[in-house]
């Protein structure tokens, strides 16, 4: 959830290709808008042009994780706030 919030800087609860471009650039990786668009398009489960939390989880979570298990485990440890939590460099680098 924190990673999703970190990428979703506008707080829309959905991610578009520009959100990913910004995230990658913030982590010193240059990824084209076209590549980010294709990433969102490929992972977008309802074809609305946006990536949901569930879509992002399917992309980065291990196959043994289910949405229910992941959200249940996350709620134990996460504090939800309006601003995205500051993630460690290692976590952001691992996601990128």
Domains of the chain, first to last: 2-81 (1.10.238.10)
Residue the block writes with tokens 């990433």: 39
pLDDT, mean of residues 7-14: 88
* Residue range 33-87, pLDDT digits in tens: 999 999 999 999 999 999 999 888 888 876 665 556 555 655 554 444 455 556 6
Output the six-digit token pair for 71: 């959200």
User: For the whole prediction, is pTM greater than 0.75?
Assistant: no
* Residue range 45-56, pLDDT digits in tens: 999 999 999 888
- Residue 48: the pLDDT is 92
Q: 51 CB contacts (<8 Å, ≥6 apart)?
A: 14, 15, 16, 40, 43, 44, 59
């Amino acid at each position: 959830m924190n990673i999703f919030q970190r990428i979703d800087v506008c707080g829309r609860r959905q991610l578009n290709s520009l959100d990913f471009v910004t995230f990658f650039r913030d982590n010193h990786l240059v990824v084209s808008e076209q590549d980010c668009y294709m990433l969102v398009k490929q992972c977008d489960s309802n074809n609305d042009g946006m990536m949901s939390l569930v879509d992002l989880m399917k992309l980065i979570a291990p196959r043994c994780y289910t949405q229910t298990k992941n959200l249940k485990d996350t709620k134990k440890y996460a504090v939800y706030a309006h601003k995205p939590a500051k993630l460690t460099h290692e976590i952001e680098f691992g996601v990128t």
